[in-house]
């Protein structure tokens, strides 16, 4: 097993209880333009990039032009104004990230959110001061579940995939990481069931649960599973 030297973190649903808020913001945005899309149809698409979500629901629609772009921009405003102020950090988020930072791991965020939203997300997750590096949907050609965000994160911290773990919460994160050759530790704080998180090396309830079992984890052994 390779030495573990770096950790890639997803943020939404992983360090922050925000997946349902994102889904509600999409419901609101679609409704504002006359499309009624059920919440639970959208909920299980959260974790992939917004561009992918749009084309999954409405094939041919783009978040870069036309009505798709207008709706995506409206959704961002709705999320930041209506939902972001009420978000809460996942249990143990700051404590876990702080411990990993203190133990010398290279840390980086890899998210499908836009860069404009990232600072708000980091602040609400109570980890803004703990991360110096991040990649967002704005930095890559393809958002999750494509591997681009994870590959860009590897470049940010200057490590090979074999020396890194990703902590994440959705099947789209797992698919993205696997395509980049990165192993995943999953958490259930995003609302997904274990069967949905197949491919993760381990699944924990939350960042706090990782801390509670830290001594037996890959972080303590410093070995990639």
pLDDT tens sequence across 83-124: 999 999 999 999 999 999 999 999 999 998 888 899 999 999
The CATH number of the structural domain formed by 6-17+88-221 is 3.40.50.1000
CB-based contacts of 100, cutoff 8 Å, min separation 6: 7, 107, 219
Q: What whole-number distance in Å separates Cα of residue 8 and Cα of residue 111? A: 10
Q: Is residue 145 within 8 Å of 177, Cβ to Cβ? A: no
How many CA atoms lie within 13 Å of 20's alpha carbon, on the beta-carbon side? 7
CB-based contacts of 43, cutoff 8 Å, min separation 6: 19, 20, 23, 191
Q: CA-CA-CA-CA torsion for 190, 147, 177, 144, nearest 10 degrees?
A: 10
What digits encode the pLDDT tens for the residues 55-66?
999 999 999 999
The CA distances from residue 86 to 27, 48, 123, 126, 201, in Å, are 17, 22, 12, 13, 32
Q: What whole-number distance in Å separates Cα of residue 108 and Cα of residue 136? A: 11
Digitized pLDDT (tens) for each residue of the chain, 225 residues in all: 799 999 999 999 999 999 999 999 999 999 999 999 999 999 999 999 989 999 999 999 999 999 999 999 999 999 999 999 999 999 999 999 999 999 999 999 999 888 889 999 999 999 999 999 999 888 888 999 999 999 999 999 999 999 999 999 999 999 999 999 999 999 999 999 999 999 999 999 999 999 999 999 999 999 999
């Amino acid at each position: 097993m390779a030495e573990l030297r770096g950790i890639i973190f997803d943020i939404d649903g992983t360090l922050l209880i925000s997946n349902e808020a994102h889904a509600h913001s999409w419901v609101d945005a679609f409704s504002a333009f006359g499309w009624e899309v059920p919440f639970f149809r959208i909920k299980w698409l959260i974790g992939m990039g917004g561009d992918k979500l749009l084309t999954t629901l409405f094939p041919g629609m783009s978040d870069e032009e036309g009505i798709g772009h207008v709706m995506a921009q409206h959704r961002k405003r709705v999320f930041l104004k209506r939902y972001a102020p009420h978000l809460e950090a996942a249990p143990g988020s700051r404590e876990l990230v702080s411990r990993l930072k203190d133990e010398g791991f290279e840390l980086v965020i890899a998210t499908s959110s836009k860069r404009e939203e990232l600072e708000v997300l980091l602040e609400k997750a109570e980890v803004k001061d703990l991360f110096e590096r991040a990649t967002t949907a704005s930095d890559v050609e393809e958002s999750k579940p494509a591997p681009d965000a994870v590959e860009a994160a590897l470049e940010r911290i200057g490590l090979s995939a074999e020396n890194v773990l990703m902590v994440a919460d959705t099947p789209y994160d797992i698919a993205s990481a696997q395509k980049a050759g990165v192993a995943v530790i999953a958490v259930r704080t995003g609302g997904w069931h274990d069967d949905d998180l197949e491919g993760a090396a381990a699944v924990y309830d939350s960042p706090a649960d990782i801390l509670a079992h830290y001594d037996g984890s890959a972080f303590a052994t410093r070995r990639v599973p």
